[in-house]
Structure 1
Amino acid sequence: MDVVLEILNQFGRAVIQLLINPFLYVSALFLVLQYRKQIRLERKLFHSRLHSLRKEVLRSVLWGLCGGLAVSVIMAFFGVVITQGTVIVLWIITILMALVRVRFMCLAYSVGVLGILHVGLSWYPDATKLQGVGVLFNWIKEAQMPGLLALVGVLHLAEGWLVSRQGAQMASPMFFEGKRGKLVGGYSLQSFWPITLFLLVPATGGVGTTLPWQALFGGDIWSSGWMILGFPIMMGYSELSLTALPKDKVRLSGRLLILYGLVVVLLALGVHYWSPATLLAAILCIVLHEGIMFYSRYLEARRSPLFVHDGRGLRILAVLPGSSAAEIGLESGEIIQKINGMKVKTRIEWHEAMRINAAFCKLEVLNNQGEIKFVQRAIYAGDHHTLGIILAPDQEAQYYVEMRQMSMISYLRSKLSGRKVPAEQSDSHIS
């Protein structure tokens, strides 16, 4: 009973610690601004609102809270030995990595680099005695890699779960330049979750009571006391989908992230029982994460674009929420073959077919399972002639989005110069 009361007491202190952490509010502001920017771009491109800012922010916060609590419970049994020096080193590495690419702002990369430096300094023990940088080198040398690797793995397990469940919620239809300059439709998939972690960590002078379980990592260090550390992190998912439906893309991404998380947890266990494996585990932590990126890009390059028109009819890129098309069950990726009995292969034929009957429309549609379905609806006063359908682009489209890799230096330079960062400079990544 005393242990439960102590845990509740420590948890309460961790909540207070979390609420006074400025990064919690920075994360919330980032979430609102990022979603607001995405929604404004949708309105600019399609003159319609595809997402609700309030709804999406609330959804991300609630799911992030659930994911954070799940990670915290799992890590309570693994145990993570993390000091202030370790946190400072990870921040330094993260900032330096972000100067190369924004997508490198991920714990997988910073922990991987820390592990490599950790092993390197073990070969040069006198480096900790150097003036100025000796303290920094000592922090690196004292880093407890099994717990940090386990944290990376468990966080990516949570991310894989969140991506599978929620990754397609903020899918934004876009026009892109495909191979040989042909315009194709696709989706920009971006979702963010503010994760609140409550990590059980050893602390000298902490709670003297004994835990009812033995944390796997840390050994006897837990006998000196323990405390619960509360802090927020931001978890994000960003990808492009030109060759698959958003739901299929996030399902694959989620599985890859879960597989990656399981592998890193196994690597953490390996390092715990055999420390010479630290260097290999640190390298694999980075390489496997990059492998997910390359595999996703490989699939996109290998497959044919999905959201293009062909001889069968007009491809649906997106359906506006609450529109007439949504009411009659039309979905992204389906092909409209006939309208009011007239075959349609161009936008001009679309408009001509809609004018055949001003009060009613009947559509013949090839669905995503390759089956023909018939849908119909009366046309009321005020209904838009497109029924709320965003079609894949043709070569008469006036705009498209180009996605490029971006460094933090480029981002900051554009901000300091007062110049807006265009959509084509967005970074596509999983982190």
Structure 2
Amino acid sequence: MEVWIMEIVKGAGRVLTQPFLYIAIIIGFILTRRRIKSERRQFGTRIYDAFSEWSGTLGTSLAAGLLISVFAVGSGVVLSLPLLLLVSGVLLVLSLPLRSNWYSAAYTLGATYLVIYFLPYFPESVRQLSWVSPFTDTPLTAVPFLISAFLLVEGILMLRTSSLSTFPERVMGRRGMWIGQHRSRKLALIPFFALFPAGAIEPFAPWWPFFGIGEESFGLILVPFVTGWEWIARGQLPVKAAKIVGRRTFFLALLVLSLAAGSLFLPILSLVAVVVSLLGRTWIRLQHLSGEKRQPFFSASQDGLLILGIIPKSPAAQMGLSPGELIVRVNNRQVRTENDFYEALQENAAFNKIEVHDIQGENRYVQRPLYEGEHYELGLVFVEPPRREKSVSMY
């Protein structure tokens, strides 16, 4: 028991040696910085805090990492050094477009699997290169299982998407009018333990603790795997889009898992599982893009003022307002523009009463006083930009 405890502690400490961790930190910083700059340019203020791309993923990621660790260690999953290095290289290459959709395990692990699988078919001059030859003996049995596990995490996280966890954006439509859209972008760091062959690390770290299984020696290594997704909801509510994409991803994960299990009896199904994950993940994305070509959901309305987004922890968030709802009246005054909304708020700033048409078209009322120092427009973001210079500067 003491050996296992020591292995876990040492394996966790070696997480700092993994390229995954540093790639995730750097890319996460770049993405959040670009988003905040975009929010300030479009709305005049930061809507979401820094690193909100990671928010809401910690609990699910840790739970998934624990389950994957039990599976990996219990079933003897061995992750060799060449495999980890190649996955890191693939992740780094896929990071160049700065689109977290490419961080899906279907792409990172899938591309890694295909490179190693077809390596024997490369010219001999390539296979004999000193940095290529270690990949030829890399075991791939566990890769489809890991892909299915990470796809399950993606699907679960998407299904948990809330109305306040996507990023609002204001863009110019084809007809020269402002429209809104929501970008769902998440990154998740899923740490899990796996076995690591002793011979792969002894030349670099002879002090690393090992334990024996049969005639071979292994150590534990903590792998901080990075996964993620990114898509835009323009023709429907982001929560509705998330449910559709999440369900499809979840069922794809189950299909890949079934094929991976079948590969234990028919090895060729391992390759089939990886190809299905790649094609399936791409199909899900293309289907989503096709569905978003409909009439924009977030567009100007003659019946009121459509809510595009809400600043977290603002008065609007505390009042229970949601993106996609239509503000009809403020303090018994009809509003159609942001100017109308601002002026109506000033009529009775001590206690504001707002009439809203919810997503189902039903009327409801919300009310709350506006205290000194709070956002002057309750923390609401609308489709059309403000026409007053004062609004632009204070947004």
TM-score by length of 2: 0.79
Aligned to 1:422: none
Question: Larger deviation: 378-387 or 107-116?
Answer: 378-387
Write the mapping of 1:293-304 to structure 2, written as runs, cut at 5 A: 293-301=285-293, 303-304=294-295
> Separation in 2 of the partners of 1:397 and 1:152?
51
> Separation in 1 of the partners of 2:233 and 2:25?
27
Contact 1:183 1:395 in 2 (8 A): no
Match status 1:152 vs 2:147 = yes
Any idea what SS the aligned residue of 1:277 has?
A: helix
**Structure-2 change in CA distance of 1:134 and 1:266 (3 Å):** farther
Aligned-pair distance for 1:196?
1.9
Give the one of 12, 17, 36 matched to 1:15. 12
Any idea what SS the aligned residue of 1:50 has?
A: coil
Write the mapping of 1:404-423 to structure 2, written as runs, cut at 5 A: none
> Separation in 2 of the partners of 1:253 and 1:309?
27
**Structure-2 change in CA distance of 1:58 and 1:148 (3 Å):** same
Matched to 1:293, the amino acid is R
Structure 1, residues 212-270: CA drift from partner, whole Å, max 9, x if none?
xxxxxxxxxxx524332222232222221223333333333332322222222222222
Contact 2:113 2:143 in 1 (8 A): no
**Structure-2 change in CA distance of 1:142 and 1:314 (3 Å):** same
> Separation in 1 of the partners of 2:296 and 2:388?
17
Matched to 1:108, the amino acid is A
Contact 1:325 1:389 in 2 (8 A): yes
Gaps of at least 5 residues in structure 1 are 211-222, 399-431
Structure 1, residues 135-155: CA drift from partner, whole Å, max 9, x if none?
566445433332111111112
> Separation in 2 of the partners of 1:293 and 1:49?
28
> Separation in 2 of the partners of 1:58 and 1:347?
30
> Separation in 1 of the partners of 2:54 and 2:7?
29
Aligned-pair distance for 1:315?
0.7
> Separation in 1 of the partners of 2:110 and 2:7?
31
Over the matched positions of the two proteins, sequence identity in percent amounts to 26
Aligned-pair distance for 1:366?
0.6
> Separation in 2 of the partners of 1:384 and 1:134?
62
Contact 2:179 2:384 in 1 (8 A): yes
Contact 1:75 1:151 in 2 (8 A): no
> Separation in 1 of the partners of 2:351 and 2:40?
28
Give the one of 311, 315, 321 matched to 2:312. 321
Superposition RMSD in Å? 3.6
Any idea what SS the aligned residue of 1:243 has?
A: coil
Aligned-pair distance for 1:305?
1.9
**Structure-2 change in CA distance of 1:105 and 1:384 (3 Å):** closer
Aligned to 2:244: 252
**Structure-2 change in CA distance of 1:232 and 1:54 (3 Å):** closer
Aligned-pair distance for 1:80?
2.8
Matched to 2:160, the amino acid is R
Aligned to 1:269: 261
Any idea what SS the aligned residue of 2:249 has?
A: helix
> Separation in 2 of the partners of 1:42 and 1:324?
19
Structure 1, residues 96-119: CA drift from partner, whole Å, max 9, x if none?
556688554544224434444555
**Structure-2 change in CA distance of 1:319 and 1:207 (3 Å):** same
TM-score by length of 1: 0.73
Aligned to 1:51: 48
Give the one of 105, 110, 113 matched to 1:112. 110
Any idea what SS the aligned residue of 1:263 has?
A: helix
Match status 1:235 vs 2:227 = yes
Question: Larger deviation: 53-62 or 138-147?
Answer: 53-62
> Separation in 2 of the partners of 1:88 and 1:138?
14
Aligned-pair distance for 1:41?
3.6
Structure 1, residues 307-358: CA drift from partner, whole Å, max 9, x if none?
2232332111122334333333322211112233333223344355446556
**Structure-2 change in CA distance of 1:21 and 1:131 (3 Å):** closer
